Chains A and B, each alone.
Chain A
Amino acid sequence: MATAENKLAFDGGWGYDPAPESTDHIEIKSRYGLFINGEFVKPEMGKYFDTVNPATEERLSRIADASQADVDKAVAAARAAYRGPWGRMKPAERGKYIYRISRIIQERAREFSVIESLDGGKPIRESRDIDVPLAAAHFFYYAGWADKLDYAFPGRRAKSLGVAGQIIPWNFPLLMASWKIAPALACGNTVVLKPAETTPLTALKLAEVIADAGLPPGVVNIVTGAGATGAAIVEHPGVDKVAFTGSTNVGRMIQKKLAGTNKKYTLELGGKAANIIFADAAIDQAVEGIVNGIFFNQGHVCCAGSRLFVQESVADEVIAKLKDRMETLIVGDPMDKNTDIGAINSSMQLEKIRSYLKIGKSEGGEMHQSSCSLPKKGYWCRPTIFTGVSQSSRVVQEEIFGPVLAIQTFRRYDEALVKANNTPYGLSGGIWTDKGSKIFKMTQDLRAGVVWANTFNKFDPTSPFGGYKESGVGREGGLHGLDAYVKLGA
């Protein structure tokens, strides 16, 4: 256990030299239109908004703000492509187009990583090693399904739905676009996709890829804008299916908006995952898992392990080691290859996180943050933990979507389970123990769609993802992810 004597000193006068990824090989236009019917067009109302680098607060580009008229055009283009070339295409040929998208993303991977980190603030190491490779893999995986759908649904015939309206969040912009577009296309649908207003650039770059891949015009349309644009897609009578990833509150509004229509929908919403550490766990590994669970991507992760439950007998040791480890986390320039925690995605999100820090303290929680220095410009939040919180604390119950961990202890298995399941959410969970039977019991008992045992925050195109309870409806990824984009006939 770390004590004052044997504690590692990280302030010994040495540090990493800056190792910034260069940005000179990428091209970001000063202005982006909407990608409709295979080409970039100006928005009907002529309005644009800024997309900002959250690490520098500097404008990266001006982005078209799509109005109802633009959404109408995009849906019409998608409908025409569905009735026309895409709907008539042999499934195997459809698959080949999707393979092309995957290969071009791989070819342009470095460019995508750099732009993702510039626009969203996530460390380049994560966009380079996780977001972009996974996005390419996702297209590659679903490409192969295009001509094999009859094997996915025994006893049933899978038919496409039509036009899919898709709305994605700002935490994994390119990856979420691939999660949405790849299965939709594989199942024979066409797409109108709206990226988040703070992170539109990689989706617009993906539009370039889609054009380069030679997909028929209108098969994928990308419209940028804020909530009003999203609402126009959700409520559009020409949309047959809505896929949304974002907050539970917006998901609930969408589910209500869709009431009385025959639109199919999938919702991937919020979470407040329990990460449960038993005394017999490999403690050092578990501490790494805690760090990965809550500080990965600045905690902007719907499945983040934001509630930690530590068995009482090892709580002091785990928390001491966690605090030590937090001291080593490098917060700062997302473009630096040594950075662990990048910029908070937007000033709005930073405000929200700060308000929760206040709430946590005012409710009697004890807050601890690492002592790292922060850049002067940009949006930053130090890795933060709360102890002395209870089940009813708002920082325990509500999704913060930042690098903020709420820590509680437990004595017995049952106590851990009841506390872990005491949430309206049910997206993910984690368990750390050396005992296999305990893993199987806990992974069965947790009411959550994804459970990581002795690991956390792992993703793969073959692995279904999605929540129980108020964390959403439906799954994305894997065989089960096809379901969202087909109707089943006899």
Chain B
Amino acid sequence: MASKRIAVAKTYKIYIGGKFPRTESGRYFTLEDKKGKVIANMCRGSRKDFRNAVVAARNAQTGWAKTSAYLRGQILYRIAEMLEGRREQFIAELKLQGATQRAAETEVDLSIDRLIYFAGWTDKYQQIFSAVNPVSSSHFNFSVLEPTGVVSILAPDDTSLLGLIANVAPAIAGGNTCVVLASESKPLSAVSFAEVLHASDVPGGVVNILTGFRAELTEHFASHMDVNAVIYCDGSKAVAKTVQVLAADNIKRVIARNQVDWSGDAENPYLIRDTQEVKTTWHPIGV
């Protein structure tokens, strides 16, 4: 007679530089289901975790930016493949955090498709947004897009999987690396998504994911001097002000994404362009 098997619960950890450490701070916060039953003890990420993640992101940035557009596209496509394969797990996790079966299915499907969408852009946005400029002097002059660099992302709280992917995918499609703060109220999907990234040939450090308290970490995401751009989703007016004031210390690009319907109007290459710089090159024409 078979005895009742004890399930093996997962330890939800953070994702830095292609590794899954616990927070260096040793702190945690408890995630409960609707009935008050403990689902997981999440890492309560610290400033130090964030700083470590920025170092990892910076180290990975040049290599990722130089990865060919074709290969970046294939890697994004690979993420989608891995997510598709673990579709049921992600649906179950969303349900655990309060979603209905139908809402969970929709969010996971949209997330997979969003990755495919941006996978297809990696070798095309440059052609849409670059230019050859007809200068009057005898020079060949052209403008191309280059990644801004390291991007910190305060992901939306509500759409914890789709919202995260909808912000991460365009940033990395364009050759940036990023550090993401996951949804505080629904952090499970972000950690599981890190495992998907880990199995998808995404180089370590390209995407780093922390869990923790937004109120505690926002100022660090905005102020770090080696971060080139900060994206914040659904910030209150006070948060917007804090982020923008702190970002000014190194003239960060500040991208506000408030009240975006991530299931609707969030498929366009302008989301890639938000974290791109225009570089213009001049060269004389002559013999």
Contacts and interface: CB of A to CB of B under 8 A. Distances in A.
Interface string B26-39: 00000000000000
Interface string B258-282: 0000000100111000000111111
> Taking each of B136, B237, B249, B253, which has the highest tally of chain A beta carbons within 10 Å of its own beta carbon?
B136
Interface stretch (B92-100, B126-134, B151-159): B126-134
A258 B137 CA distance: 38
Nearest to A457: B282
Contacts of A106: none
Contacts of B247: 255
A235 to B, nearest CB: 14
Interface string B221-249: 00000001000000001101111110111
Given A451-B281, A455-B283, A480 B131 contact: yes
Interface string A447-471: 0111111110010101111101111
B253 A256 contact: no
A251 to B, nearest CB: 7
A453 B285 CA distance: 11
> Taking each of B128, B135, B283, which has the highest tally of chain A beta carbons within 10 Å of its own beta carbon?
B283
Contacts of B265: 490
B282 A453 contact: yes
B143 interface: yes
A463 B241 contact: no
Contact of B278 (A155, A248, A253, A464): A464
A396 interface: no
B251 A458 contact: no
Interface string A199-240: 000000000000000000000000000000000000000000
B48 interface: no
Interface in B98-146: 128, 131, 133-137, 139, 141, 143, 146
Contacts of B268: 155-156
Interface in A142-197: 154-156
B251 A470 contact: yes
B67 interface: no
B250 interface: yes
A227 to B, nearest CB: 17
A480 B278 CA distance: 8
A154 B242 CA distance: 33
A6 B215 CA distance: 71
B270 A450 contact: no
Contacts of A12: none
Interface in A416-460: 424, 439, 443-444, 448-455, 458, 460
B122 to A, nearest CB: 17
Nearest to A443: B281
Interface string A258-283: 11100000010100000000000000
B278 A258 contact: no
B283 A137 contact: no
A256 B251 contact: no
Contact of A479 (B131, B242, B245, B284): B131
A259 B248 contact: yes
A473 B251 contact: yes
Contacts of B283: 439, 453-455
Given A462-B134, A480-B143, A251 B251 contact: yes
A70 to B, nearest CB: 28
A488 interface: yes
A488 B268 CA distance: 12
A288 to B, nearest CB: 12
Given A154-B128, A465-B280, A468-B277, A478 B143 contact: yes
Nearest to A480: B278
Given A458-B137, A478-B131, A490-B265, A424 B282 contact: no
Given A455-B282, A455-B283, A469-B228, A462 B277 contact: no
A260 B269 CA distance: 26
A307 interface: no
A475 B135 contact: no
A148 to B, nearest CB: 14
Contacts of A453: 281-283
A424 B141 CA distance: 25
A463 B133 contact: yes
Contacts of A490: 265
Interface string A467-487: 011111101001110000000
A23 B128 CA distance: 49
A256 B241 CA distance: 8
A469 B251 CA distance: 7
Interface string B138-176: 010101001010000000000000000000000000000
22 contacts: A156-B270, A252-B249, A252-B251, A255-B251, A256-B245, A260-B241, A444-B146, A448-B279, A449-B279, A451-B282, A452-B281, A452-B282, A454-B283, A458-B135, A460-B135, A460-B137, A462-B135, A464-B133, A464-B280, A469-B250, A475-B278, A479-B131
Interface of B: 128, 131, 133-137, 139, 141, 143, 146, 148, 228, 237-238, 240-245, 247-251, 253, 265, 268-270, 277-284
Ordered nearest first, which 10 A-B pairs have the shortest CB separation? A260-B241, A259-B244, A255-B248, A460-B135, A462-B133, A259-B245, A453-B283, A470-B251, A256-B248, A259-B241
